[in-house]
Amino acid sequence: MSVYETDIVIVGGGIAGQSLAAALVDAAGAGRGAAGGVGSGTVRVVVVESENTLGHHTSSRSASQMQPSYGPPGIRALTAATLGLMPGIERALGTSILSPRPLIWCGLRGSAAQADSVLASVPDAREGSIAEAVSRLPALRASALESIAFDKNAQEVDVTALLGYYRERMRTGGVTVLYGSAVSDAQPFADGWRVTAGSNEIRARIVVNAAGAWADPLAGLFGKAPRGLQPYRRTITVAAATGRAVDPSWPMASDMGDTFYFRPQGTEILASPLEDTPSVAEDARPRPSDVADVTQRINAVTDLALGRSTRSWTGLRTLSPSGLPIVGREPGDPTFYWLAGQGGYGIQTSAALGRMVAADLLGHDAGLGDDVAAAFARLAPEPGPATA
C-alpha cells in the first residue's frame, strides 16, 4: 500500500476535478509554498480517479457547447465567467479552442413548443423567419417548421484541448494523479481523512467530492447524507449525410420541443435525441433505439438522409433536485467539499467553478466579480437530512 500525505484530495478526474486541480495550481501553486485557507506552507493536491485515464466518463462525452444563454441565471453567470477565462487558456495553448456555433431553435409544425417559450426563457434569443433559418442551414425543410428563434452567441469548444490544458497545468504544478484508484473507504483521521483508493492510502485535510454520477455514493463513504443527485442518460451519435454535402460551418439546430439537436461534426452530423432517462451511476452505453429515434426525427425535418451511425456514445448528466450544482463545504464539516451536480453545464462552467472553488478552499478572492460570487454562494449545500 502506498501512502500519500496531502492537503487536498480531489476524488474524480473529470472536468470538474481537473479544472479545480488546475485552478489550485494557478491560485496557490500545488506542491509549492503558498498561504491560504488550508493553512500556510505547501499546498499539496492529489487527484484520485477510478479509471486508468482522466475524463473517461461524462466529460469526454459532451456536445462541446458553451451557450451563454443556456440555463438559469446563476449558470449563465458562471458560463460567462468561463468564456471570459478562455482567451487566457487559448493564449497558453497557442491555439483557439472556441468557435462560433450559433443555434437555430426550431418550432416544428404541429408541436406545442414554439418560439414564444424560447424567447421568454433564453435571454439572447431573437425571433427569426423560416426563410432565414433555411438560408443559414439549407438542410432544414421549410415545410416542417412553424417558428424559429436564433441564439447567435452559442459557441463550440474543443473539449479535448481544454482538458489537455487542465491536465498540463496539473502536471507542471506538481499535482499527483492516482489512476485506477477507486475510493472504497474513508475514515476520520487527525484533522481530516484517511482515504483508501485502490492500493493507495491518502491522508488528506480536505476531500473534494468531484465524482460526477457517483457523487452521492461517494459521500456515503464519508458518512455524509446523499443530496438526491440523479444521473440521467444522454446519447450522441455521429452519422454521414447521404442526402447532401454538410457544410462544417452550419449552425446547430435544436428542437424547441427537446426531441433532438444536431450540428456538423466536420463533414458528418452529430446529433442527440435529448433523452433524459434516469440511470444508475455506470459506464453508460448507447441504446440502438435512441440512435434510431434521433436519426428518424432529423430525417423527417431535413433532407440530410442520415445513414448508419459511424459512432455513438452515452454520458450521464447528474442533476440535483433543484437543477443547480451543489458546490461548497458540507454544513458542519469543513473537511468535506462538494463539487457535483453540474448537469448539462459542466463544460461551460468548468473554468469559473474551478477557480471559485480553489479560491474558497485557499481563502482567496477569485476575482471574478460580484455576480459570479453571488451565483456561487447560491450553490452551497443545504444541511443533509438527519440520519438516525
Question: Helix or strand or coil: residue 10?
Answer: strand
State the DSSP H helix or E strand holding residue 164, giving kind and residue range, or none if neither. helix 159-172
Q: Report angle CA 21, 357, 329 to the nearest 5 degrees.
A: 115
Question: Which of 8, 16, 77, 108 contacts ligand FAD by CB under 6 A?
Answer: 16
Q: How far apart are CA 331 and CA 227, in angstroms?
A: 12
Buried b (16+ CB within 10 A) or exposed e, 215-240: bbebbebbebbebebbbbbbbbbbbe
Query: Looking up cell 432517462, which residue turns up?
Result: 277
- What type of residue sits at position 141? R
Taking the complex as a whole, the smallest distance from the CB of residue 312 to ligand FAD amounts, in Å, to 10
Radius of gyration of the chain from its Cα atoms, rounded to whole angstroms: 22
Report the site for ligand FAD in 178-197 (rule: CB under 6 A): 182-183, 197
Contact between 49 and ligand FAD per CB under 6 A: yes
In this structure, what C-alpha cell is assigned to residue 246? Answer: 454538410
Enter the C-alpha cell of residue 6. Answer: 496531502
Interface with ligand FAD, residue 56, by CB under 6 A: yes
CB 233 within 8 A of CB 280: no
Q: Compute how many residues bind ligand FAD; rule: CB under 6 A.
A: 42
Least Cβ distance, residue 362 to ligand FAD (angstroms): 20
Stretch that binds ligand FAD, among 9-17, 122-130, 162-170, 362-370 (CB under 6 A): 9-17
Q: Which of 7, 9, 10, 13 binds ligand FAD (CB under 6 A)?
A: 13
Interaction mask 213-252, ligand FAD, x per CB under 6 A: xx---x---------------x-x----------------
- Does position 176 interact with ligand FAD (CB under 6 A)? The reply is no
Query: Which of 226, 225, 185, 233 has the alpha carbon at shortest distance from 11?
Result: 185
Candidates 27, 63, 89, 130; binder of ligand FAD (CB under 6 A) is 63
Q: How far apart are CA 207 and CA 46, in angstroms?
A: 10
Could you say whether residue 65 binds ligand FAD (CB under 6 A)? yes
3-state helix, strand, coil in the chain (%, to 5): 30, 35, 35
Mark the segment that binds ligand FAD (CB under 6 A) among 96-104, 115-123, 124-132, 309-317. Answer: 309-317
Rule CB under 6 A: say whether 170 interacts with ligand FAD: no
Q: Which residues contact residue 176 at a Cβ distance below 8 angstroms, ignoring those fewer than 6 apart?
A: 4, 6, 44, 45, 46, 47
Q: Work out how close the CB of 155 gets to ligand FAD at its nearest, in angstroms, rounded to a whole number.
A: 10
Q: Does the footprint of ligand FAD cover residue 61 (CB under 6 A)?
A: yes
- CB closer to ligand FAD out of 34 and 177: 177
Residues that bind ligand FAD (CB under 6 A): 11-17, 48-51, 56-59, 61-65, 182-183, 197, 210-214, 218, 234, 236, 272, 315-317, 342-348
